[in-house]
Chain A
Amino acid sequence: MSAFPEDIQSSLNSIRPRLLGFARLQLRSAAAAEDVVQDALEAALANLSKFAGAAAFQTWVFSILKNKIIDELRRNSRMECDVDAEAALDETVAELFNERDHWAEMPAAWGNPQGSLEQKRFWEVMEACLDNLPAAPARVFTMREFLDLETEEICKELAISPSNCWVLLHRARIGLRECLGRRWFGESTA
């Protein structure tokens, strides 16, 4: 039982912006995102006969895209070294702690941040903060939290050690925490 072609087309058109955004966050390139989404849509259309049940259609297209992104990340597993962004993040981490590695300044509370998730502007800030991260921590973080991969899978795909992976995830979380604190939760810059 397949949907009518025009339904498929309008369904694809309606999810295309989300597919593009999803891919762009991970590949950090609008052109690469266009390519991989195009690939995924062609694969989806070519395999429509394998697909039954329109309710799960979007989930199915997303799973195709997810696999394409993982392929692309695997092909490009050598992560570019983002010298300036890396140095900026090093500095952020260094400034957080004193010489005994305790807080130089108490991190501020975010109150009840859940309400932010409803706000469109919050997601724009989140995207800007992800873009601000150096490539390596950003990639590992989005693979972990956006593609829902386990660390073992990430290590395998990127050919890095688990401890390297944990270091990158920690740096990504620290960097995002600082960026959201400053740009969304209204913490003052010291």
Chain B
Amino acid sequence: MMMSCKHATELISQGLDRPLSRSERLRLRLHLLLCLGCRRTQAQFRFLREAMRQHPWKL
């Protein structure tokens, strides 16, 4: 059964904070291959990190 989008977004988020296990990575990759909404979410979560890195108040 395919992973739900909600769970996929949880793994996308956690992937920014901890190394995912091999099976988590594989299942997420498979889900992303098939799901445009989750690919967009991944790009957007990554953008949030990038934006905070470049925050004008940050040094």
Residues of chain A touching chain B, judged by Cβ–Cβ distance below 8 Å, are 18-19, 21-22, 25, 58-59, 62, 96-97, 100-103, 106-110, 113-114, 116-117, 123, 126, 144-146, 151, 162, 165-166, 169-170, 173-174, 176-177, 180-181
Q: Is the pair B41, A145 in contact by a Cβ cutoff of 8 Å?
A: no
Distance between A146 CB and nearest chain B CB, rounded to angstroms: 6
Partner of A110, one of B17, B47, B52, B54: B47
Within 8 A of A (CB), among B10-44: 10, 13-14, 16-18, 36-37, 40-41, 43-44
Contact in complex: A166, B13 (CB < 8 Å) = yes
Please state if B4 and A102 are interface contacts (CB–CB under 8 Å). yes
Can you list 25 A-B contacts with CB-CB less than 8 angstroms, sorted by A residue number? A59-B59, A62-B59, A97-B6, A101-B6, A101-B7, A103-B5, A103-B37, A107-B41, A108-B40, A109-B40, A110-B43, A113-B51, A114-B47, A117-B51, A123-B56, A126-B55, A145-B52, A162-B18, A166-B17, A169-B16, A173-B45, A176-B48, A177-B41, A177-B44, A177-B48
Q: Chain B: interface secondary structure?
A: helix
**Is chain A's interface secondary structure helix, strand, loop, or mixed overall?**
helix
Q: How many residues of B contact A (CB 8 A)?
A: 31
